[in-house]
Structure 1
Amino acid sequence: MKRLVFLEDEDILREEIADFLRDQGYLVDAVASIGEFKLCYNPGRHRLALLDLGLPDGDGRELIRELRGRGHRVGIVVLTARGGIRDKVAGLEEGADYYLAKTVDLDELAATLAALARRLGEPEKGACWTLELGARRLIPPGYQPLSLSQQDLTVLQILMQRPGVAVSRRQIIEAQGENYLDYDQRRLDTQISRLRRKTEELCGLALPLNTLRNAGYCFFAEAEIVA
């Protein structure tokens, strides 16, 4: 699955971007310093790194040089307030794959990470998620089944029927037998967040579900539904 380590020392910005990336289907390990990065980073687990440069315990460019010097094939995207051309050129020369200013639109950030993930061979091919309707279970690829509530089962069923196709919020709400106009949509957001968290806690995988802002959701992995 798509797993990345995100290094940003500003608490609010780190939380905001980490939540956005989780909505995009990433499993995010967010850290606030170079020291925390080195404790967290695992080259066998993290294929992507999103890095700030101005950090409380050093310069992110030194970290990039260290990663490249050790031969790590990690995809590196710099996200920094240093938006000048000279800074950008220096960052790319140090070994970053992409260099973005912090004023970047979040959709552009997501597209950049997705392009880099494709180049690195992410996401994994042939990993099928199975939804068992009768047993009311979700089976992540290579892991034990997760028991589901009836509501979660209904939501996943409509999302997994057509992987890669956007499903509107209205379709999901009405599939649960609710009136779209009367429904508090925050309930759906809470349900999706809870389902993501449960999946990650029980098997360590990110639920392959993208949030389409102001539109709906998209299940982007190979999927099978059985009775």
Structure 2
Amino acid sequence: MRLLLIEDDRQLAVALQRALRAQGYAVDHVGTAKEALLSLKVGMVDAAILDLGLPDMDGTELLRKLRSEKNRTPILVLTARDSISDKIHGLDLGADDYLAKPFDMEELLARLRVIERRLGTAQSACINIGPVSLDTAAHSLSVNGENLSLARKEYMLVKILMENAGRVQSREQLETKLYEWGEEVASNAVEVHIHHLRKKLPEGFIQTIRGVGYTIAKG
């Protein structure tokens, strides 16, 4: 899943990006509401993490503006405003979730997994399709109970496909979810990752839909 982190605290943003990337997320960062609006209008983000204390516009106004413009990108508010009234206000404006600072990273990750399940076809953090098991909470993939060693992009790719089992993902969609701004993307990058995954997974597990993209059949 590709995330947009809207946070003006540079130190916190760097730490969050590092932690989220380690869990298999692609994370782009902006520090102002203006940048966030431009980024979200492009529509290449699966979900956003929003700090309310932005320098150029209050985050609640940004949220109000996005929802008034029919932008339905899932938004998790991450803020120091921790009163019940603040939480209710944020949720009523259209936030999908609300987490107060200071927060536990494990809780943030769990809430992001809930958003992923809403966007995909999976029903829980553990996805079992045939002999292949993905545990997004433990960040692990196994075949017949044996854990596989995967490169970061390989894990991200199989996670996207398994979370969207039964749906075809085009190469362009996969590139968008796998790579952040500024990352160099070779023209055959997705194909190379698929090739490596197929060597580790059961034959036929990842299916090619010629001229369209890739998919994994639902279990």
Alignment check: 8 A CA contact 1:75 1:117 kept: no
Which residue type is aligned with residue 19 of structure 1?
R
Report SS of the residue matched to 2:64. Answer: helix
Equivalent residue, structure 1, for 2:13? 14
Measured against aligned partners, the alpha-carbon deviations of 1:56-114 in whole angstroms (never above 9, x if no partner) come to 11100001001110111211110001111111111111111111111121111011111
Report SS of the residue matched to 1:41. Answer: helix
Equivalent residue, structure 2, for 1:118? 117
Which residue type is aligned with residue 20 of structure 2?
L
How far, CA to CA, are the matches of 1:168 and 1:65 in structure 2? 34
Residue 32 and residue 166 in structure 1: after superposition, are their counterparts in 2 closer, same or farther (change >3 A)? closer
Residue 55 and residue 168 in structure 1: after superposition, are their counterparts in 2 closer, same or farther (change >3 A)? closer
Relative contact order, higher structure (CA 8 A, sep 6+): 1
Residue 105, structure 1, aligned to residue 120, structure 2:
no
How far, CA to CA, are the matches of 1:34 and 1:41 in structure 2? 10
Report sequence identity in percent: 40
How far, CA to CA, are the matches of 2:52 and 2:136 in structure 1? 37
Equivalent residue, structure 2, for 1:89? 88
Residue 5, structure 1, aligned to residue 28, structure 2:
no
Residue 85 and residue 41 in structure 1: after superposition, are their counterparts in 2 closer, same or farther (change >3 A)? same
Measured against aligned partners, the alpha-carbon deviations of 1:119-169 in whole angstroms (never above 9, x if no partner) come to 1xx34x6xxxxxxxxxxxxxxxxxxxxxxxxxxxxxxxxxxx865489999
**Shift, 1:17, TM fit:** 0.8
When normalised by structure 2's length, the TM-score is 0.58
How far, CA to CA, are the matches of 1:75 and 1:168 in structure 2? 22
How far, CA to CA, are the matches of 2:98 and 2:104 in structure 1? 13
Residue 59 and residue 43 in structure 1: after superposition, are their counterparts in 2 closer, same or farther (change >3 A)? same
How far, CA to CA, are the matches of 1:29 and 1:223 in structure 2? 31
Residue 51 and residue 166 in structure 1: after superposition, are their counterparts in 2 closer, same or farther (change >3 A)? closer
Equivalent residue, structure 1, for 2:28? 29
Pairing 1:75-86 to 2, within 5 Å after superposition? 75-86=74-85
Residue 72, structure 1, aligned to residue 71, structure 2:
yes
How far, CA to CA, are the matches of 1:166 and 1:118 in structure 2? 12
Report SS of the residue matched to 1:53. Answer: coil
Alignment check: 8 A CA contact 1:51 1:76 kept: yes
Equivalent residue, structure 1, for 2:54? 55
Which residue type is aligned with residue 86 of structure 2?
D
Unaligned runs of 5+ in 2: 122-131, 141-146, 157-177, 191-200, 207-219
Unaligned runs of 5+ in 1: 126-160, 170-174, 176-190, 207-218
How far, CA to CA, are the matches of 1:75 and 1:16 in structure 2? 22
How far, CA to CA, are the matches of 2:45 and 2:71 in structure 1? 10
Pairing 1:58-207 to 2, within 5 Å after superposition? 58-119=57-118, 122-123=119-120, 163-164=134-135, 200=179, 201=183, 202=185
Off by >4 Å, runs of 4+ in structure 1: 161-169, 203-206
Q: Across the two proteins, how many residue pairs are aligned to each other?
A: 157
Alignment check: 8 A CA contact 1:10 1:32 kept: yes
Alignment check: 8 A CA contact 2:63 2:93 kept: yes
Residue 56 and residue 24 in structure 1: after superposition, are their counterparts in 2 closer, same or farther (change >3 A)? same
Residue 203 and residue 53 in structure 1: after superposition, are their counterparts in 2 closer, same or farther (change >3 A)? farther
How far, CA to CA, are the matches of 1:86 and 1:7 in structure 2? 22
CA RMSD of aligned residues (A): 4.0
